[in-house]
């Protein structure tokens, strides 16, 4: 049974950062769906010695070693040869593959040598045809483990994995890994970790916390065994009862996508008047396909003059100031009325590095959401850099919309449930 894997990305361009290793991330997630946990990932150069050493080490430490890249026709494509050395297996030219390569290309000077090079396979390897290219996938048994060779172009690698490697893995793995994904927007990473306590102290279930600007993502992995199902329910109950903030579970959707879908289904529209965020709230909504079903438009009201032009009273600007709860609320109401939408959103604050005062230091912002039955206003202070403050403010504005519309979260705090 295959339980662990190491992934080896091959290529000088990947090691140098010229090509981002998206293959490694994709393959890791792919393996997890079969209950196979990646224990290590390497990036190695186009070097026979480096590739051979990585494969040898992987066979000692994991059940499955996967190389990605280095299967092309040029002299620096050395993965097949390196794996042959690591496994003490000779290389052979697969005549069927060679004819396939020949049929796809016109003959030019030196072409035959390149074709024969790409048609080399490990003796005894299981070959998986490449529906989007030439180099096949190869799988070779070595002791109780396996080595799999896949091409580097992502569309080719993914096609082979999904078409051939997936069914092969399903027969040899221990089952499916269930991943429950939660997002918390109103607590920091340390606070979330404190409240998750026991879930982080062991390996079962496997729990991870990942801090992002303005939010914390929580991932909990369990297998499909009877005990795994029990742990999954216990973990979910713990998250529901122990984290003192709204927890979002959106089945893989972003909040923006969920919000657009919900507004469209309820024939509602939304617009924004933004100061601090400078259009970031609206941009996050418009990035969703089909956003025009709900998003009407907005305005960046960066100066007091523009705020006043779009409906914020001079009295509020003079007495409470542009960075205040009153101004944020007035902005949300004003854009809602001016554009005739169901929901108006606003943001105002001090992103820094300059500005701020004793009451509202740099990093302080206010956001608001206004709807047919009232408004929600939030104040936050976050000691981050300018761009991070703006991102956090945009996230918080969506939280205000969530609260205003009473959209579902996994858990509702007393504050959120109050009318």
Q: How confident is the model over 31-61, as pLDDT tens digits?
A: 988 989 899 999 999 999 999 999 999 999 9
Q: Are residues 21 and 117 in the same domain?
A: yes
- Please give the pLDDT value at position 365: 98
Q: For the domain that residue 140 is a member of, what is the CATH number?
A: 3.40.980.10
CA distances from 173 to 3, 222, 399 (A): 6, 15, 41
346 neighbors 367 (Cβ within 8 angstroms): yes
Identify the three-state secondary structure at position 139.
strand
Last residue of one domain, picked from the residues 133, 154, 170? 170
**Residues found in the chain:** 419
43 neighbors 15 (Cβ within 8 angstroms): yes
- Please give the pLDDT value at position 80: 98
Give the residue from 284, 201, 403 showing the smallest Cα distance to 209. Answer: 201
H or E element: which one contains 166? helix 166-170
Residues 17 and 12: their CA atoms lie apart, in Å, by 9
CA distances from 377 to 74, 274, 305, 417 (A): 61, 14, 22, 15
Residues 324 and 330: their CA atoms lie apart, in Å, by 10
- Please give the pLDDT value at position 387: 94
H or E element: which one contains 263? helix 255-265
Strand order across the 37-44 sheet: 37-44, 4-10, 64-68, 145-150, 137-142, 126-128
Task: Decide if pLDDT at 249 tops 90.
Answer: no
Q: How many domains does the chain have?
A: 3
Q: What angle do CA 327, 324, 385 make, to 5 degrees?
A: 115
Sign of CA dihedral 126, 131, 132, 134: positive
Rounded to an integer, the average pLDDT of 71-96 is 95
- Please give the pLDDT value at position 106: 60
Q: For the domain that residue 296 is a member of, what is the CATH number?
A: 3.90.950.20
pLDDT in tens, 277-290: 999 999 999 999 99
pLDDT in tens, 107-156: 665 678 888 888 999 999 999 999 999 999 999 999 999 999 999 999 99
Q: Are residues 276 and 347 in the same domain?
A: yes
Residues 218 and 52: their CA atoms lie apart, in Å, by 37
- What is the C-alpha R_g of the chain? 28
Q: For the domain that residue 214 is a member of, what is the CATH number?
A: 3.30.70.2860
DSSP 22-64: HHHHHHHHHHHTTTPEEEEEEEE-S-HHHHHHHHHHHHHH-SE
Q: Are residues 127 and 199 in the same domain?
A: no
Q: How far out from the chain centre does Cα 2 lie?
A: 26
Return the axis-axis angle of helices 226-242 and 189-196, rounded to nearest 10°.
Answer: 130
Lowest mean pLDDT across 200-214, 332-346, 401-415 = 401-415
Q: Are residues 393 and 272 in the same domain?
A: yes
Q: Are residues 274 and 223 in the same domain?
A: no
Q: Are residues 151 and 281 in the same domain?
A: no
pLDDT band for 393, please (50, 70, 90 cuts): very high
Report the half-sphere exposure of 365 (CA within 13 A, side-chain side). Answer: 31
Last residue of one domain, picked from the residues 204, 221, 248? 248
pLDDT band for 251, please (50, 70, 90 cuts): low
Q: Taking the CB of residue 394, how many other CB atoms lie within 10 A of it? A: 28
- Please give the pLDDT value at position 150: 99
Q: Are residues 119 and 104 in the same domain?
A: yes
Residues 241 and 292: their CA atoms lie apart, in Å, by 37
pLDDT band for 409, please (50, 70, 90 cuts): confident
- Please give the pLDDT value at position 200: 85
Return the bridge partners of 274, or none. Answer: 300, 347
Q: Are residues 375 and 259 in the same domain?
A: yes
Task: Decide if pLDDT at 2 tops 60.
Answer: yes
Last residue of one domain, picked from the residues 131, 147, 170? 170
Q: Are residues 89 and 107 in the same domain?
A: yes
Q: Are residues 115 and 161 in the same domain?
A: yes
Rounded to an integer, the average pLDDT of 86-104 is 90
Range of 347's domain? 255-417
Mean pLDDT for the chain overall: 91
């Amino acid at each position: 049974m295959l339980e662990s894997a190491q992934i080896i990305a091959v290529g000088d361009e990947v090691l140098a950062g010229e090509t981002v290793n998206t293959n490694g991330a994709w393959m890791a997630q792919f393996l997890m769906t079969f209950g196979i946990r990646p224990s290590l990932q390497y990036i190695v150069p186009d070097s026979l010695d480096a590739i051979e050493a990585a494969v040898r080490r992987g066979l000692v430490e994991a059940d499955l070693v996967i190389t990605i890249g280095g299967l092309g026709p040029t002299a620096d494509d050395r993965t097949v040869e390196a794996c042959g050395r690591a496994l003490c297996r000779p290389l052979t030219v697969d005549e069927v593959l060679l004819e396939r390569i020949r049929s796809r290309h016109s003959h030019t000077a030196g072409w035959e040598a390149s074709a024969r090079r790409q048609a080399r396979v490990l003796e005894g390897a299981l070959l998986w045809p490449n529906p989007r290219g030439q180099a096949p996938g190869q799988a070779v048994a070595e002791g109780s483990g396996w080595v799999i060779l896949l091409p580097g172009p992502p569309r080719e690698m993914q096609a082979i994995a999904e078409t051939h490697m997936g069914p092969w893995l399903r027969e040899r793995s221990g089952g499916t890994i269930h991943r429950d994904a939660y997002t918390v927007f109103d607590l920091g990473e340390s606070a979330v970790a404190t409240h998750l306590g026991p879930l982080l102290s062991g390996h079962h279930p496997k729990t991870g916390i990942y801090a992002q600007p303005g939010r914390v993502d929580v991932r909990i992995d369990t297998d499909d065994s009877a005990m795994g199902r029990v742990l999954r329910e216990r973990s979910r109950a713990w998250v529901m009862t122990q984290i003192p903030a709204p927890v979002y579970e959106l089945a893989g959707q972003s909040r923006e996508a969920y919000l657009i879908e919900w507004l469209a289904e309820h024939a509602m529209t939304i617009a924004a008047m933004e100061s601090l965020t400078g259009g970031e709230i609206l941009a996050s909504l418009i990035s969703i396909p089909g956003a025009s079903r709900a998003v009407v438009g907005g305005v960046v009201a960066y100066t007091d003059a523009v705020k006043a032009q779009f409906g914020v009273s001079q009295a509020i600007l003079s007495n409470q100031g542009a960075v205040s709860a009153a101004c944020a609320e007035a902005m949300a109401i004003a854009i809602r009325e001016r554009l005739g939408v169901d929901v108006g959103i606003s943001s105002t604050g001090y992103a820094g590095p300059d500005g701020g005062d004793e009451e509202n230091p740099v990093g302080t912002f206010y956001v608001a959401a206004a709807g047919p039955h009232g408004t929600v206003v939030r104040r936050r202070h976050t000691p981050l850099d300018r761009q991070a403050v703006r991102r956090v403010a945009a996230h918080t504005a969506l939280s205000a919309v969530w609260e205003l519309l009473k959209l579902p979260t996994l858990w509702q705090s007393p504050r959120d449930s109050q009318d």
